[in-house]
Amino acid sequence: MEEIRNIYCVGRNYALHAKELGNDVPEEPMIFSKPTHALHPASGKLALPGTIGEIHYELEVVVRIRTAYKPGMKADELIDGIALGIDLTARDVQSQLKEKRHPWLLAKGFIGSAVLAPFQPFEGGEAFENLTFSLMKNEETVQSGSPRDMIFSLQQLIDFIGTRMGLGAGDIIYTGTPAGVGPLADGDTLELKLAAGGKEETFGPLYVDLIE
């Protein structure tokens, strides 16, 4: 994780997730970022602040950039890894920030809020579109999705971010979460599942520890 430079995240990139939170479907990608201090491996104890209100899980596919972006480059040229991640969100804090029209950083960038499993080799095209991913909380599936349901494709995200903020080796992109987000409780156990090419891998377990 020490090789990661910038963490870009995409909000509302699955229509059903936007709907479940009462948000409009965006007309262009909604991009925010997290500090690298937010990174946490997808196993072991996950210590989170228990004094900031509800913290929601948002399972996402994450891609890793291997070289500097130049206009016209294709996703397959830029990406060398794929992983699962959880964009943890302090939902009460986020609601307060939205009301004040303030940036989301305090709700999205706290320590431990960027859970990340190990990266796997990236396969683009239909292989990426057809993969499926899911999140198990206390041995029950709470989220599942596939990149085929993203509002903005991987190529659209890369072009949008690359032309406006730049992309370089070591940058990662959390590509958005499907419906089913919800709160974490102290003692919850999380597992992340990625199915691609007829194989399924499980990452975790991750043990939630809300610190008062």
User: Total structural domains in the chain?
Assistant: 1
Residue 139 lies in a domain: yes
For residue 75, tell me if it sits in a domain.
Answer: yes
Query: Which ranges of 4-153 would DSSP assign to H, the alpha helix?
Result: 15-20, 75-78, 91-100, 105-108, 126-130
Look up the pTM and report it: 0.95
Q: Between the CA atoms of 150, 155, 157 and 161, what dihedral angle is there, to the nearest 10 degrees? A: 180
Please tell me the predicted confidence (pLDDT) of residue 22: 65
Distance between CA 37 and CA 112 in Å, rounded? Answer: 8
Q: Answer whether residue 1 is part of any domain.
A: no
CA 140/CA 9 separation, integer angstroms: 26
CB atoms within 10 A of CB 4: 15
Residue 103 domain flag: yes
pLDDT of residue 191: 98
**Where in the sequence is the domain holding 63, given as residue range(s)?**
6-210
CATH number of the domain within which 177 lies: 3.90.850.10
Q: Quick one: pLDDT at residue 198?
A: 85
Does residue 48 lie in a domain region?
yes
d(Cα 78, Cα 158) in Å, to the nearest integer? 9
Q: Is residue 192 part of a domain?
A: yes
* Residue from 209, 212, 155 nearest 47 by CA: 209
pLDDT, mean of each 10-residue run, the chain (212 residues): 88 74 78 97 97 97 97 95 97 94 95 97 92 98 96 97 97 96 97 93 98 92
42 near 87, Cβ under 8 Å? no
Residue 70 within a domain: yes
Domain assignment present for residue 182? The answer is yes
pLDDT number for residue 15: 78
> Which ranges of the chain does DSSP label H, i.e. alpha helix?
15-20, 75-78, 91-100, 105-108, 126-130, 154-164
